[in-house]
Amino acid sequence: MMGRIVVFLGTPLDLGVAILKILDVLKDRNVWDVSLWVMFLTTFVTFGASALGIAYGSLSTNLDPTKTNSLFGLKEAKENWVEMWKDE
C-alpha cells in the first residue's frame, strides 16, 4: 500500500516541481515571459493530483495479504469504493 501511495503521490508532485523549475528557467533567460496564472494552474493541477494520489493509493490496495494486487489497482479500487460506501 505504501509503495502505491508513494508512486501516485510522488509522480505528480515531482512533475509539478520540475515544470515550475523549467518555467522559472525560461522566464529568467527571457525565453518566455510566463504569466503567473500558468504557474498557478500548474501548481493547482499537479499538487491537486498528488492529493488525490494519496486517496487513490489507499483505495486501490487489496488489504488481503493472500491476494496479489493488479498493476494499477483499478479492480481493487472498484471493490474498495463499494465497500467504503456500504451501509452497515
Span 9-47, pLDDT tens digits = 999 999 999 999 999 999 999 999 999 999 999 999 999
Taking the C-alpha atoms of residue 9 and residue 5, their distance in angstroms, rounded to an integer, is 6
Long-range contacts of 68-75 (CB under 8 A, 24+ apart): 69/4, 73/4
- pTM of the predicted structure, to 2 decimals: 0.79
Span 46-59, pLDDT tens digits = 999 999 999 999 99
CB 16 within 8 A of CB 47: yes
Domain ranges, ordered by start, for the chain:
2-84
